[in-house]
A and B are shown apart, each in its own frame.
Chain A
Amino acid sequence: MHALAPTGVTMSRSEARDGDFSSYMHARQPSLMRTAYLLTGDRHTAEDLVQTAFAKLYLSWDKVNDRGSVDGYVRRILVNEHNSLWRRAWKRRETSTDEPPDHPHHDAYDAGTGAELWDLVQTLPKKARAVVVLRYYEDLSEAETADALGISIGTVKSQASRALATLRERAPHTLNPREEDR
């Protein structure tokens, strides 16, 4: 899997390692950045989070023998790093303002109700929000979500159920169809 230099000269081990890591980082970065934004609701915090997650992955790159497991590994770093932002959580609460959340993008589908639902997602407790993002954006199974968050499948179920109940209670009627949620 290690690359060769364009001249055909074999790269040094560290160059090959860095090339290997860079390829992975560039491929995976957009997706992780989106997940981080959904977890944090703030562009700058999301960028910091992804940079930290990649830095920690970089430090462990030689130890990750199974390249197939890297996606799950870096996602776990991302989520754990987000969960350990204890100080920031308190700071956010102390300095909370009436400013609306940062909206990076509204597409044509969004006639306003979408932004409203997104606002509601941002009010969920951190753990419930992480479950929502991994289950309904990343499309992970309950077991995969439990693994990424380091919690039991039962907790994933209860958090997801409670989060949907909260959203259902607060969402506008137009976003509240009487269909059974999975």
Chain B
Amino acid sequence: MVNLVENLRKEAGRLLTEGKVKHIIGYEMVEPLKVRPFFAKSADDANKLHYSPLCAHNLAVYLTLEEIKAGEKIGLVVKGCDSRAVIQLIQEGIVDREKVVLIGVPCRGIVDLEKLREELGERNVQSSSATGISIENGVVKVETKNGIIKFDRKEIVFDICNHCQNPTPVLYDILLGEEVKPWGKENYEDVKEIERMDLKERWNYWKEKLSKCVRCYACREVCPLCYCKECLVDKTMPTWVRKSVVTSENTFFHLMRVFHLAGRCVGCVACERSCPEGIPLSKLFRKMEKDVKALFDYKAGMDVEQKPLLASFKLEDPEEFIK
């Protein structure tokens, strides 16, 4: 982990001093357990870049900003899922491959801070007493003022990370460290659990979850693939979705997002992580991902040469809907 951060700083410093990129979007550590996106503009800034198993943000979202698209070449730190979002953006013609240097980080899982806080609480450890965090060989080590506390990775990373099939970036220019093999299986058990519910039970489940939505649109704003200039829910002439924050309109908003991301969502679940109300959005998006895979044998964001799902067809595509 220390080597990784050193390498990152070295590579970033080189790219910046050699003028290969205008700036690098990475992470900085604000507090031992708090990291956030960071725009490094100089060699000095490069030394502030950081990486830890808390670097959850999918930084590809910044590639869709107008000033970044119009600007000069930049560097971007990507994990496996983030790199797939970049591939998808390249496929869709939003990102110019020539204008971005991808600094790949082989991901060993991202720690869910909420789970970590809970676990620390059970051990009577204040999360503010933590001084560092690292992940190696399936073990998460939290350094505190009173020694190191170890956790099994599976218990403490985001659920989604336990399904991850692409921990190593799929696309990169520089890879920091060795490739990482997937440690979990993709069995869509979380989705199947919902599928097993009967219609009424399922509707009640989602009604309850979606009634909590406050429409802060954090899910939309953190999503790298949600880059429409004007979102359907913001349109007022005509109004498609009422401003009233009620279950019907909330449901429409979320289902609309799922459909608009069909064959495009790369499953980073930045949306779910950003949701202050804890709505299990990953279950909706993973259902779509599972169906897309079953119907069209397609996985989003795997190959820059591949065409987006909805812009391509195969002779064997199912067509039961044509009557």
Q: A and B: partners?
A: no
What is the interface of chain A, defined by CB distance below 8 A to chain B?
Answer: none
